[in-house]
Amino acid sequence: MIIAKTVREVREQVAEWRREGLSVGLVPTMGYLHEGHASLVDRARAMCDRVVASDFVNPTQFAPNEDLEAYPRDFEHDCNLLEEHGCDMVFYPSVEEMYVPNAATYVEIQDEMPKQLCGKTRPIHFRGVCTVVSKLFNIVQPDRAFFGQKDAQQLAVIRRMVRELSYGIEIVGCPIVRESDGLAKSSRNTYLSPEERTAALVLSKAVFRGEELVGSGVVDAKRVVDEMTALISAEPLARIDYVSAVDGVTMQPVEVITDGTLVAMAVYIGKTRLIDNFIAGGLK
C-alpha cells in the first residue's frame, strides 16, 4: 500500500492509474479506523479498480470548544487495517499540506439544510466537512466516493454539494456497522468508560424501538420520536442533544413518516457525543 503525504504524490499516482484505464474509489476518513471504515473500503474495493483512503483529522469542522486535540489517532493501526482490506493508497497529509497559510476559502451550503440536526449545536461543522471533502475530490478526482450512513446528515449534505457543483462523482452510502450488542461503531466510543459504554446502548435501543414502531405501521413522527426520547431519557448518564424525524433529503422536520424519512439522534453519554439513526422504508 502506498502512503502519500503530499497532494502531488496522490495526483501523480492517480494519473498513472488513469493512463491504465482504471477506476478510482475514495474513502474519506478522519483516522482511528474501525470495522465501519473497513466496510467502506470493502465496498470501494468491490466497485473500483483502485481504492484511495484519506486519513486526516480536519480542523475546519471542529469548533474551538470541541475535541480536535483529543480526537483519537493511531496511524499505524489505520495502515494495518487499510492494507488488510485491500486499500491501494492512503493519503496522510499534514494540516499545512491541506490548508495554505491564512486560508479563507470555504465551500458551504447556504440554506437551512446544514442548520438542522447536528448543525444546530455545531454551526460550522458542515462548512468544514464540505470544504475538506471538496478538496479531497479535487485532489483524488475519484469515480466514486464512499460514506457511512451513520453520518446521515453529512451524507445528504455531500450528495447535495456534488449535485450542485457538478462534480460527476457517484456518492455511495454504506450501512451502519454495529458492535455485537448494537452500539454503532464510532471512533468516539473509545472515550467511554465501562459504565458509559453500557449506558451508550440506549442509542441503539431507541433506534431499534423506532424501527419497530414504524415497521408496525406507526407513521406519526411525534409518537415515534416521543417514545424514543422517553427510552433515552430513562438512562441517567444520557443527555439528549436531539431526536428528530426529518425528510431524508432536505433535513426538514416531518409530521408523517414515509419511505426515506430519516429518524436521527445525537446524545451525550457523559461528555461524549454519539449519533445514530435509521431510515424508514417499506411503508405502504
> Would the pLDDT of 284 be above 90?
no
Active-site annotation holder among 34, 37, 85, 125: 37
C-beta separation of 187 from 32 below 8 A: yes
Q: Do domains 2-174 and 187-276 have the same CATH topology?
A: no
pLDDT of 283: 86
pLDDT band for position 173 (50/70/90)?
A: very high
Span 133-165, pLDDT tens digits: 999 999 999 999 999 999 999 999 999 999 999
How many whole angstroms separate alpha carbon 88 and alpha carbon 24? 10
Nearest partner of 24 among 54, 50, 55, 53, judged by Cα: 50
Q: What global pTM score does this model have?
A: 0.96
Average pLDDT for residues 172-191, to the nearest whole number? 97
Q: Where does 187-276 sit in CATH, by number?
A: 3.30.1300.10
Active site residue 77: no
For 9, 96, 278, the CA distances from 100, given in Å and listed in that order, are 17, 6, 38
> Would the pLDDT of 64 be above 70?
yes
Domain ranges across the chain:
2-174, 187-276
pLDDT of 189: 97
Task: Compute the mean pLDDT over every residue in the chain, rounded to the nearest whole number.
Answer: 97
**H or E segment at 95?**
helix 95-98
- Tell me the three-class secondary structure of 184-240, residue by residue: ECCHHHHHCCHHHHHHCHHHHHHHHHHHHHHHCCCCEHHHHHHHHHHHHHCCCCEEE
> Would the pLDDT of 252 be above 70?
yes
Nearest partner of 47 among 141, 155, 173, judged by Cα: 173
CATH architecture designation of domain 2-174:
3-Layer(aba) Sandwich (3.40)
Give the helix, strand, coil percentages of the chain, each rounded to 5.
45, 20, 35
If you search the block for the grid coordinates 448494537, which residue do you land on?
A: 182
pLDDT band for position 54 (50/70/90)?
A: very high
Strand partners, 230: none
What's the gap between Cα 151 and its chain centre? 3
